[in-house]
């Protein structure tokens, strides 16, 4: 493990990594001044009163990183208290009109009202732009989000729902993350209001994977799902962890093997919790490939 950036006593949040085909790896994250959070930070860009967004990159597989560069004014809406990239991963598009575009998924808001959108770059990260918010269904609040490229070059977004409905939300973009169709509930994707992961295993055959706690109330029963129709339907491939299971991120290793980094929480008694970061590799069954 290596420290990329620290700014004590301030807080650095929502790390989101974007690996390029060139080997460069981008990292986006947010900074909160000491004592502030998404509910108490002020709207705008005041350095010691607001949430701010930064990027850095590595060209040596994470051994060293460039000085952080602030992107708050390019990405954040001045009226909102917080931005949150991912957490998890961003993607480089590999096909279609926007081939080569770098895309980070974000949510924005604070205080119970949220929207999701994308930030993207068409010049390998030199400049970044903010796309439009995804429309949302009344009664839903799309929050922490992840994206994956589909076979036709469009993007699928899969979101946490920070509202009463205990299911995940999905929407699509056909213009590289500039605009989105409505973030729609997927009732069969149970979720206890938690971050989840989504990734592409292959284009031929067309195969997506996702992970999240498959429980409507509690962060437990982490499952790996597969989809062969662009995320229209999902099938549970295997149980990653039947007990405590919270945030996760998937990493395809080969055509039929995927790694998952995830967190679990142990009840230590007396109101204390013990967080652990775990890693596991899974092989897809023949029916999932």
**DSSP result, 136-198:** B-TT--EEEEEEEE-TTS-EEEEEEE-SS--EEEEEEESSTTSS---BEEEEEEE-SS---EE
pLDDT value at residue 236: 95
Phi, psi of 287 (to 5 degrees): -75, -15
Tens digits of per-residue pLDDT, 194-235?
Answer: 999 999 999 999 999 999 999 999 999 999 999 999 999 999
In angstroms, the CA 86 to CA 27 distance is 11
For residue 266, name the pLDDT band (cuts at 50, 70, 90): confident
**And the tokens for 22?**
């060139």
For residue 271, name the pLDDT band (cuts at 50, 70, 90): confident
Residue 253 has pLDDT above 80, yes or no: yes
Is residue 177 within 8 A of residue 101, CB to CB? The reply is: yes
pLDDT value at residue 66: 97
Proportion of the chain in helix, strand, coil states, percent, rounded to 5 = 0, 50, 45
**pTM for this structure?**
0.96
In angstroms, the CA 192 to CA 160 distance is 9
Residue 54 has pLDDT above 90, yes or no: yes
Average pLDDT, the chain: 96
For residue 272, name the pLDDT band (cuts at 50, 70, 90): confident
pLDDT value at residue 182: 98
In angstroms, the CA 169 to CA 163 distance is 11
In angstroms, the CA 160 to CA 107 distance is 10
Residue 286 has pLDDT above 80, yes or no: no
pLDDT value at residue 110: 81
* Nearest CA among 88, 200, 101, 106 for reference residue 150: 200
Is residue 167 within 8 A of residue 144, CB to CB? The reply is: no
């Amino acid at each position: 493990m290596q420290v990329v950036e620290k700014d004590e006593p301030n807080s650095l949040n929502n790390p989101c990594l974007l690996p390029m085909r060139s080997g460069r790896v981008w990292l986006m994250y947010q900074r909160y001044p000491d004592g502030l959070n998404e509910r108490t930070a002020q709207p705008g860009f005041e350095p010691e009163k607001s949430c701010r967004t930064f990027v850095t990159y590595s060209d040596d597989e994470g051994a060293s990183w460039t000085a952080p560069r602030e992107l708050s004014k390019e990405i954040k809406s001045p009226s909102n208290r917080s931005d949150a990239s991912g957490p998890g991963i961003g993607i480089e598009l590999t096909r279609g009109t926007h081939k080569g575009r770098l895309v980070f998924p974000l949510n924005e808001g604070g205080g119970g009202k949220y929207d999701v959108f994308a930030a993207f770059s068409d010049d390998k990260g030199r400049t970044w732009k903010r796309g439009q918010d995804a429309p949302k269904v009344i009664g839903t609040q799309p929050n922490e989000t992840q994206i994956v490229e589909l076979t036709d070059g469009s993007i699928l977004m899969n979101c946490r729902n920070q509202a009463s409905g205990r299911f995940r939300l999905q929407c699509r973009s056909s213009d590289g993350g500039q605009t989105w169709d409505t973030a729609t509930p997927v009732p069969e994707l149970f979720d206890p209001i938690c971050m989840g992961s989504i990734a592409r295993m292959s284009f031929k055959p067309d195969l997506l994977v996702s992970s999240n706690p498959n429980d409507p109330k509690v962060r437990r029963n982490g499952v790996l799902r597969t989809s062969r129709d662009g995320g229209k339907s999902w099938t549970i491939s295997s149980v990653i962890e039947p007990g405590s299971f919270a945030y996760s991120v998937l990493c395809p290793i080969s055509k039929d093997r995927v790694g998952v980094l995830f967190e679990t929480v142990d009840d230590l008694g007396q109101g204390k919790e013990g967080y652990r970061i775990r890693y596991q590799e899974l092989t897809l069954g023949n029916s999932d490939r």
